[in-house]
């Protein structure tokens, strides 16, 4: 059973620097090779911005790292079995018929626990004060995304996997989120994210999936 650490209280023991190794990873969808030979090592405190055209396999790549998509070729290894990962995908995993507070409650309790005060606090941090007991169905797209991100303030995780986290956020929301990213990196966490917008965080590393695609050949199928 894993415990929940508040973001201000990361694990004290000095953890190993590398957090994730990707070795020679390939991805094939519908007999089309999206990328192959992808090798990557993610260190603590690093933010990787994954780029690529539409259909380049950004979402699939994040899912492979999270363990939600099968891996046919290559390896994804985490530094330890206890590495905590939070994945927030395109589909946010929120239940429309539950309130923001209730949604956070069940999401966090999958791997820990939280009190109502903590959840209200997290919702205030993402700018949703006063919306705690509103049904998620009645929130706007941007507000839903903020509810999902409130989880990042409730649970400590070593690695954040974020798929298009800036979608439907307003300017202020994007700026806020970038500051949370910086804070997370500062505490020794790592982030892998996809985005079509620029990420203005110091030391951001770019991974362009286009570099791992096969040359465009209509007759060649598979990897």
Partner 1 sequence: MLGFMMVIIKRDLLLIARQPADFLNPLVFFVLVVAMFPLGVSPESALLSQMAAGVIWVAAMLATLLSLELLFKHDHQDGSLEQLLLAPYPNWSLVLAKVCVHWLVSGLPLILLSPIMAMMLFLPYDAVPALMLSLMLGTPTLSLLGAIGAALVTGVRGGGMLLTLLILPLYVPVIIFGASCVAAAVLGMPISAYLALLAALLIFALMITPWAASAALKL
Q: Which residues bind partner 1 (CB under 8 A)?
A: 1-2, 66-68, 70, 85, 87, 89-98, 102, 106-107, 109-111
Question: What is the 3-state composition of the chain as percent helix, strand, coil, each rounded to the nearest 5?
Answer: 30, 25, 45
Between 119 and 212, CB nearer to partner 1: 119
Rounded to a whole number of angstroms, the minimum distance from the CB of residue 188 to partner 1 is 21
Between 55 and 67, CB nearer to partner 1: 67
Rounded to a whole number of angstroms, the minimum distance from the CB of residue 85 to partner 1 is 7
Rounded to a whole number of angstroms, the minimum distance from the CB of residue 191 to partner 1 is 17
Between 101 and 212, CB nearer to partner 1: 101
Between 27 and 212, CB nearer to partner 1: 27
Cα(94)–Cα(92) distance, integer angstroms: 6
- What single string gives the DSSP state of each residue in 126-173? TT-TT-TTSBGGGS-HHHHHHHHHHHHHHS--SEEEEESTTTT--HHH
CA torsion, points 36, 37, 42, 48, in degrees to nearest 10?
A: -40
Rounded to a whole number of angstroms, the minimum distance from the CB of residue 109 to partner 1 is 5
Cβ neighbours of 36 (radius 10 Å): 17
């Amino acid at each position: 059973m894993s415990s929940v650490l508040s973001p201000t209280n990361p694990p004290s023991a000095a953890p190993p620097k590398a957090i994730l190794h990707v070795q020679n990873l390939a991805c094939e969808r519908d007999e089309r090779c999206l990328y192959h030979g992808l090798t990557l090592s993610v260190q603590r405190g690093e933010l990787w911005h994954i780029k690529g055209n539409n259909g380049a396999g950004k979402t699939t790549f994040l899912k492979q790292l999270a363990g939600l998509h099968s891996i046919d070729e290559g390896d994804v290894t985490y530094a330890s079995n206890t590495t905590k990962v939070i994945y927030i995908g395109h589909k946010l995993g929120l239940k429309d018929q539950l309130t923001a507070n209730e949604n956070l409650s069940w999401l966090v309790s999958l791997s820990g626990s939280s009190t109502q005060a903590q959840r209200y606090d997290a919702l205030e941090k993402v700018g949703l004060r006063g919306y705690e007991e509103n049904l998620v169905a009645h929130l706007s797209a941007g507000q839903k995304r903020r509810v999902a991100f409130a989880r990042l303030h409730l649970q400590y995780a070593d690695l954040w996997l974020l798929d298009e986290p800036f979608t439907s956020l307003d300017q202020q929301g994007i700026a806020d989120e970038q500051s949370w990213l910086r804070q997370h990196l500062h505490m020794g966490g790592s982030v892998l994210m996809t985005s079509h917008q620029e990420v203005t965080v110091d030391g951001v590393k770019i991974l362009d999936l286009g570099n791992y695609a096969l040359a465009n050949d209509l007759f060649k199928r598979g990897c």
